[in-house]
Amino acid sequence: MNKEKRKKVAVYPGSFDPLTFGHIDVANRALRIFDEIIVAIARNIRKNYMFSFEDRFYFLTEYFKNIPCVKIDSFDGLLVSYLKEHKYKNVIRGLRVLSDFEYEFQMAITNKQLYKDFEVVFLTSDLKYSNLSSSLVKEIIELGGDLSKFVPEVVLSKVKEIKGGKRV
């Protein structure tokens, strides 16, 4: 009866363009359920990113560097292909508003059809982040607004570098 406890691992996929406090909140709350989280950065060549893959990878590795149960990885193509390749089954998705659920539910059903072992855990965002999206953050960056309530210092530093030291 002395079975070794299997580690519960989940993948948290996304573009993280850029990393926001909403993403961080979801990852931290997922750690209450899972022993390890793999934050997997999507490399979608059809998507127009504001930040390079290298920047996005740096944001995540720098922010989570002192949390050993969070690993950073990346994937090309279908999420289910990545999951199968690494023998992962669990995925974390954050939900902010009702429209997020509709889209994520469709994706979950499709992924389940593509990979029978696929399971998704939806985590609703903390109310203080329910309005926060990477798209909104990118618009604030483009228009020179104050980002300090939305992104960690590692992102702020990069934006200041891009903007030539101007307040962000």
Residue 58: inside a domain = yes
Name residue 70's beta-bridge partners.
37
To the query of whether residue 149 is one of the catalytic residues in this protein, the response is: no
pLDDT at 138: 92
- Global pTM reads 0.91
Contacts of 123 (CB under 8 A, 6+ apart): 26, 29, 30, 92, 93, 94, 95
Give CB contacts under 8 A, 24+ apart, made by 58-65. Answer: 58/154, 58/158, 59/16, 59/18, 59/19, 59/152, 59/154, 59/155, 59/158, 60/16, 60/19, 62/154, 63/19, 63/24, 63/152, 63/154, 64/27, 64/39
pLDDT at 45: 72
pLDDT at 49: 92
pLDDT at 166: 53
pLDDT at 141: 92
Taking the CA of residue 111 as centre, how many other CA atoms within 13 Å lie in the half-sphere pointing to its CB? 24
pLDDT at 168: 47
Q: How many helices (H) and strands (E) does the chain have?
A: 6, 5
Residue 85: inside a domain = yes
Residue 145: inside a domain = no
Catalytic residue among 23, 56, 93, 158: 23
Give the whole-angstrom CA distance, residue 23 versus residue 43.
Answer: 17
* Count of domains observed in the chain: 1
Catalytic residue among 56, 125, 134, 158: 134
Residue 95: inside a domain = yes
Residue 142: inside a domain = no
Predicted confidence pLDDT, tens digits, the chain (168 residues): 455 678 999 999 999 999 999 999 999 999 999 999 999 999 987 788 999 999 999 999 999 999 999 999 999 999 999 999 999 999 999 998 888 899 999 999 999 999 999 999 999 988 999 888 999 999 999 898 999 999 999 999 999 888 765 544
| Residue numbers of the domain that contains 82 | 9-130
Residue 138: inside a domain = no
Rounded to 10 deg, the angle between the 153-162 and 53-63 helix axes is 150
| CATH number, position 122 | 3.40.50.620
Catalytic residue among 56, 93, 96, 158: 96
To the query of whether residue 32 is one of the catalytic residues in this protein, the response is: no
